[in-house]
Each structure stands twice: as structure tokens, then as C-alpha cells.
Amino acid sequence: MKPFVRSILGSAPFAACVMLLSLSSVAPGQKMDHESYNGFEITDPVVLPAKEIHPSLWFVQSEIPIIKAKRDTDEHAGRFWAALQSVKHLSMDIPETPSVEDDKKTVHQYYGDLSLIAATNAFMFLMEDSAERKAFYKGRAIDCMLRAYDGPIYEIDPKVKSTPVDEIYRGTWLQNYGAAYDWLHAELTAEQDKEIRSRFAKECQYLFENLDRLAPNPHNHLSKPAWGLGSMALVMAEHPEAKQWLEKCIEASNRNTRFYYSEDGISREGSHYYIFSFINFFPFLYHYRNVAGVDAFDDFQPAFEWPVFIRNGRGWMPGIEDSYIRPYPSFLVASAYRDRPTRLHSRAPLGEILQWNFLNTDFSPFDNARETTGFNYTGASWDYAFELLDYICYDPTVPATMPEGSPTVFLPTGQTAFRADWAAGSRHSRFLLFQGVAECDNHAHFDHLSFIFEAENQMMASDAGYSRKSYGESIRKEWYLTPRAHNIVLFNNLPPRDPAESVTPPSLCRIDSEFFDYEEKSAPYTDSAHLKRAIAFPAEEYFVVADYLVSEEPGDVEILFHGGRASLEREDNRCLWAYEKDVYGDAARLDSLFIGEDVVMTEDSGEVTYIKGDYAEYPFVSATATTARDCFLQIHIPLSTDRERPIFDHRTIGDGHLVYIALENDITDTIAISNGRGPWRGEQIRSDARFVWIRDDGSGVYRCAARDATFLDLGVGAAISFPEPTSFAARLKEGKILELVLSDDGTPAAAAGVRQ
């Protein structure tokens, strides 16, 4: 199958110091170098056509019959069409112009609604056959364009906190208006055209002149309005300033994607802000390609692959960093990658993988949330043309193909997805995300070397999430982004940090086989203390977490584990987490064992929020000890509601621990860890490895794996040896090695010796 509690960190000054240290590895008060990271960028020279052709932003005139006919092609197109027909912006009264004294919501919704009325009605004008209905849609769209950016928008400084005219909204409004203008250009009188263009040009020039003041750092407040500015520059290509608008767009876009994205496409701000930016950059990429012939989809391809690499079994992007969980509407760009090779398949193009991702994503929790709250999952519910772009971009002619190759994916820039298979919605599937991306200075959490996982078709080990409902809530800083809200290891209250500014915590060992996966990452606390954390995936059935702490001086260690939306029964160092059937998955259980020398287990509670507004308090546990050098073990075995719990038998082995696990069908697993100070013995087993897994089905050992072993005596008449410390996984039969898989930095297989 595989080829290829709430407590805060002391006083506010101390917490601020820790944040600077752990998130960016820079001195307190020192700003990060926004040129210090190497993500990706648009590499082609800036191109703007000399002449305007309308329509061309989303499609040309000859394609309109195809767009109209699409509604009858399949159930998804029909559903998107029905949703578009019911959008309120097709029939709502055009709102009255607000004043500067009106509340934020009134002002924000006015500018959002006006742009959405313009876009949706202009599109329906093209789709409608009835002359009466066409006139109705046309009149509404033109009326809104003639009023674009009236009212108090230029009286309000976007730099004011909680402003209703923030630049992050304005980029989306520009893209809505640009589409409306493109579709109705031929219907405008000369006077209407002149007035509308002057309004759009004023907004574009305002953003061009003020963008760096409004967003001096290259995060989404810079890139979102820039992509809107670029789209309008393409619509108004004949305007004298259009070229400089487009140049500003590309320059700002590149600043953002070089720093806040990795070369693997990872959004360092998390899934929420990925989608929040996605809704602006994917339209711009279509517009740039369609109008100017520049295909920057090539440059952005890693960012469209990444959500598939890290999707869980329900198709959701994880709620890590400043994020709720998010679905990935990959169908919106499937047609753009119809013929492009991808890391996700050896033969099928990326477009087919993106279509599969869409068809195998459960959107129901997000649809339900929208029904009850009125907010969609984009983060721009008052601005983004949700139903309109769903219908335009869905391409029913793109087939769906499941990814192939190893479902366990190691991304060099810091994220690893342990996955049993690519199947969607299966109780037998397992998924774990291991987080170690170099931190940035925006929307970052204390989550280095953290993990979350899903099993039995239920989210289990979790991150606390983003916040209850919004960025500005005090509890976001008081709880959600604090270290104790994540599955990490603290040392003297410090979370792990980057080795240096914008440097990814290194991956020290990776093993990827059909029956055992493993990765070890490393991150420092200070110059004199560091953590090595390993995740193992034995038989691709359950998860093992091994932590190795080394410090020059003894200190307080705290290992945190959040079991998600579960009830907890604990007996000493063993926990049983119970999950009810809910919108996030099926009823299930999780059996967890925590091992460490002189470890003290305690319970606490803290909020968990998967989707905006759906927050509640749930238990979590911590294991504490005082040490300078030690190793700790977590074993997490997911269970169905009717499966018997395994039997654990723990004993110490020198400077480490050994656990026998009696599983179903007479299978016994052995897990051993050592802090690496010499050989150890566990009854019949002997080794000098830092980590060992052995599986016996009752007839003898037939699977094993080790980290940094020169020998592993299996106690069944067979031993494996190497001339140097080597990490491997092996499949055996009657004491003979049938398959040997080495770590990607390991010794060649020929160097292995086997004694029967």
C-alpha cells in the first residue's frame, strides 16, 4: 500500500517574554525579519493587457451557454444552482447609505451587501432568458455599482480597531464589483461607465497609496486587499494607473506567501486564515490567467495540495494555530489543475485529487452551523460571494481520483500526517497530525511539537482551537493560545521554540512502512534544555508518543494531553475517554496510558471550540515530574464502544520503561523506551535502542521496529544487528527478515545482520 485548565503563564510581562522567545526565537522587543523565511512567490513578470475584453474575468462571452447549461449536469451543480437562486442579494432591498455615526455592523454589512447585490444580479442577468427578469437584475446591479463606495468609507480610518471598513474586507468588495462590471460592461451607457470607473479607480488608488500604512507587515491584511486590487486592475486594464495597481498586488502577494506560507504550501497562520486568504487568492489567480494569460497557479500549487495532505478522515483541515476546523472547498480550483502533475499521485492530475477531496469531505457540520448562526466557514460571511463562486467554479467534467502512495506524509517544512489509509469516513481509519512548523509572528500559538488525532471516525486528541467566536475575545489570549491549551511538553513553564528565527524544528528520524510509521522531532526550550518528541504508529492502529528531555539543570516537566470533546474516567496514570455521537463523529472511546519516573497525574478542564460558537469545557490531563534528563511515554489506543480494553503491564528497564500490551486475537505488543545511556533488558528482549516496538501474534514475533539500535535481540531465536545505531522497521517470519525498512537517514539494508 505504501510505495513511495486553565492557567496563564504567570504575570503579563513574563507571558509576553515567553511569547517572543518561544514563537519566534528572537530577543524580547525585537521584530521578526519578514525576509527570513522562504515560502513561495509568483515568479512571472507582471503582465497587463493593453486592451480590455469584457467579459473575461471568469469566462468569455462564448462560454456563457456552457455556464448556463451546467446547472443540469449533476446533483452538485444542481444544488449549487438552487442555492444561488435563493441568495438574499437577488431580491433584498438595496440598503440605505449609512453615516459615520452608524454602528460597525450596519456599515460593514452595507458595503458587503452592495458589492454582493452587484455581483449576483449581474451574473443572473447573463443566466436569465426572460427579458423582464434580465432588466430587473441589470437595474439592481448597475444601481449598486453607481453607489459603490459612497457613504462614510473614506471618513473612517481603517487603522482604527474593529473598523467596519478594514482593508481585509475591501479586497473582497473589489473582487465582487470587478466581476459585476466585467459582466455588465456592454450594457452600460457612456455616462454610467464613466461614473462607475471613477468610483472603482478612487478605491484602487486609495489602497495603492495606503496599503503599506494600513498593513506594514506582510500578513493577510496586506495580501487580501492586494489580491482584490489586482483583480480590479485586470478588469480596468486600460486605466492609466492599472499597471501600478497590478504591480503592487504581485509585490504584496509575494511578501505574504514568502513569509506566512512554507514552500510545501503550509499556512503558518493555520487553517482558518488559510481559507480566509484562499477566498481572495484563488479568484485573483483565475482572473490573472484569464485576462493576462499569466498562469500563477503553478506557483501556488503547493498551497492547493497542502490541505489534502493534512486532511483528516472527514476531509477537515485541523484547528491548529489561530483556527477552527475547516473544510477545504477544493472543487473551486479543480479545473485549474485539470492537467497538472501532483505529489499526491503518480499518474492522475491534481485536479482529479481536488475533486475527490471535495466529494469525500463532510460539509454537514459547517452547513448546520451556518443555518443556526448565519456565518459560513470562510470568515467573510458578509463579503464573500459564496453561492455565486460555488456555481461558477464547480466543474462536473473533472473526474475524481483518490490520492495514491503512502498515506503517511512527511512535509519537510514541519508537518507530518500519520494516516492508515486515504479512506474517508471509515471507523478503521486513523489520522494524526504532528506539528513542528517554524513559527511566524501573527496568529501563532504555543503548539510546537504538539499533535492531534482522529480515530473510530471521531476527533479525539485535540487542540483547544481558535476562540469562542472572534479574534478579539479576551479568552483567546487567556486560554486558547496559551501553552496549556495544546498537547505539548512544558519545561519550567516554557513551551518548545524554534532553534532559530524562522528555522523549522528538525526531523531527526522518519520511518514509513506498511506496518509501522515513526518520526522524531527536536526543539529547544533554552540554550541548555531541549526536547526530542517521537510519534510512533504501530501496525497503523494506535499512537505512541515518546518524549526525551535533556537539560543541564533539573526542572519541572509538564506533559499535557487534551482528549477533545469527551468525558474522562481516570485511575492513576490510565485514562478512558468516552465520546458521544455528535456532528464531529461517531460514539467511541480512547484508552490512554502515561508512563514516566515519579510522574504525578492531575486533571483539569478547559474550553474546546471546533467551530465558531460551538464551545464547551472538557477535561484534560497533565503528567508532571522534576528531572534534568528523562524519558516519558504515552500510549493511546482508540476503541469502538463495544471493544474490550487492552491489558497493560508496565515495568522499568534501566533508564527507561517497557509496556506489554495484550490486544485482541492473541496479539501482544511490546513498547520500550530508553534515554539512550546504554543497553537494557526486558525479560527475553535485549537492545540498546531508544525506542522499540515488537508485535507477537502468539506464534512468534513477526513485526518489530527500533530507533537508534545497534542490536535488537527479539528473544525468539533471532536478533538484528547493525555496525552503527540504526532506525528501522522489519517484517519477519520464523526468525527471518522478509522486509527491512530503514529510516530515511539510515544505514543501507545490506549492513543489517541477522542471527537465528
Q: Which domains does the chain have, with CATH numbers?
A: 44-393 (1.50.10.100), 417-642 (2.70.98.70), 646-756 (no CATH)
Please give the distance of CA 25 from its chain centroid, rounded to a whole number: 23
Beta bridge partners of 685: 682
Cell 455616462 identifies what position?
Answer: 191
What does the pLDDT look like over 654-666, one tens digit per residue? Answer: 889 999 999 999 9
Give the rounded distance of the alpha carbon of 525 from its chain centre: 25
- Mean pLDDT of the 88-102 span: 97
CA geometry: angle 480, 481, 482, nearest 5 deg: 95
Cell of 155: 471618513
Percent of the chain topping pLDDT 70: 94
Return the number of other C-beta atoms located less than 10 Å from residue 683's C-beta: 11
Q: What pLDDT is attached to residue 25? A: 60
Is the sign of the CA dihedral 57, 61, 62, 64 positive or negative?
positive
For residue 397, how many C-alpha atoms fall within 13 Å in the half-sphere facing its CB? 10
The pLDDT value given to residue 28: 52
- For 97, the grid coordinates are 447609505
Among 4-18, 231-245, 302-316, 556-570, where is mean pLDDT lowest? 4-18
What is each CA distance from 282 to 227, 277, 289, in whole angstroms? 9, 9, 11
For 536, 658, 733, the CA distances from 697, given in Å and listed in that order, are: 19, 18, 11
**Cα–Cα dist 152/428, whole Å:** 56
C-alpha cell at 536: 510512533
Q: What is the pLDDT of residues 539-562, one digit of tens each?
A: 999 999 999 999 999 999 999 999
Predicted pLDDT of residue 631: 95
CA gap 230, 41 in Å, rounded:
15
Tens-place pLDDT, residues 472-527 = 999 999 999 999 999 999 999 999 999 999 999 999 999 999 999 999 999 999 99
CB 179 within 8 A of CB 57: yes
Residue 132 above 90 pLDDT?
yes
Q: How many helices (DSSP H) and strands (DSSP E) are in the chain?
A: 16, 27
Q: What is the CA radius of gyration of the chain?
A: 28
- In this predicted structure, which of 78-82, 287-291, 651-655 has the lowest mean pLDDT? 651-655
